[in-house]
Amino acid sequence: MISYEYLWKSQADQTEEGRTAYPAAVVISRDDVGPTPIAYVLGISHSEPKAGDRAIPVPLKLKRYLGLDDEPSWIYTDQMNVFGWPGPDLRPGEWLSTRPAAAGTCVISPLPTDWFEEVKEHLAESYRLKKVKAIKRT
């Protein structure tokens, strides 16, 4: 989990810049496609999914483990940001997390394996349903 200025698909038509830092899960990273590693990240938002959106609620216990706020949140598996690592939109982890390890880095924490597997399965299903929009970033 990283702190990242995520660009939502609802914003991508108007701007190339994210508006605020969000927690984001790095679900894939590739270093076999060029000189720069490529990161694929899913955003977490307080905005409740609308009809047709693909998202999973983030359990409160997990949010507390990550040092995030207690507000309801969802991780969206129907859109992802794709960027060269490290990108200019990484933000300090302490902007979002109270975890001491997040200070001085964009990394908040690795996700627990069981929840990460659930996210990957949901993402794979979104992909099979042709619901995933990749938003390329710089």
Cα torsion at 108, 111, 112, 117 (round to 10°)? 180
How far apart CA 125 and CA 60 sit, in angstroms, is: 24
Chain centroid to CA 57: 13
- The larger pLDDT score, comparing residue 14 to residue 114, is at 114
In the chain the first and final C-alpha atoms are separated, in Å, by: 19
pLDDT at position 19 over 90? no
Give 87's pLDDT tier (boundaries 50, 70, 90): very high
Tell me: pLDDT of 13 over 90. no
Give the chain's domains with CATH numbers. 2-136 (2.30.30.110)
CA–CA dist 123, 132 (Å, integer): 8
- Residue 17: what pLDDT? 80
pLDDT exceeds cutoff 90 at 11: no
pLDDT at 138 over 90: no
Which helix (H) or strand (E) is 57 found in, with range? strand 55-57
d(CA 65, CA 108): 10
What is the structure's pLDDT at 33?
Answer: 87
User: Element (H or E) spanning 118, and its range?
Assistant: helix 113-128
Average pLDDT value for the chain: 96
Residue 18, pLDDT > 90, answer: no
Q: What does the pLDDT read at residue 4?
A: 98
Q: Given a cut of 90, is residue 16 above it in pLDDT? A: no
**Under DSSP, is residue 62 helix (H, G, I), strand (E, B) or coil?**
helix
Rounded to two decimals, what is the model's pTM? 0.94
